Structure 1
Amino acid sequence: MWDDWEKEIPLVILESPYRSMTEPLVEYIQSTQSTEGYDTVTVIIPEFVVDTWWESLLHNHSALW
């Protein structure tokens, strides 16, 4: 699907250990900037949206942890 868009923008998917999202992301951005120079970086972090308040106690704990 990404290839169908026909833009020269690379899609990079980072896997990270459980509940460790921010640190690997920052490390990747810093390493990319040091090797390829500074450019615009767009980061998309998904968030699980729940229907009730009590479900949020079980889920939404990873957006920026």
Structure 2
Amino acid sequence: MNEEIGYENLLSFEEKWGNKYPLAAKSWMDNWTNLSTFFEYEDQVRKIIYTTNPIEGMHCQIRKIIKS
């Protein structure tokens, strides 16, 4: 995926879900310049960026279990 396709998908999201999730849609639209920097990275780096949050979530769950 490239920046152009990402922006087209953002517009599609805003059209489909903008009424239901107006704050998210507005935030993403208003901050597209910052969000689009994601596309400056190579595919491998982008995968690491967007998989970091689920990994951190798993680590959080493991820490909760270990503390109990």
**Structure 2 length-normalised TM:** 0.31
Pick the structure with more helix per residue.
2
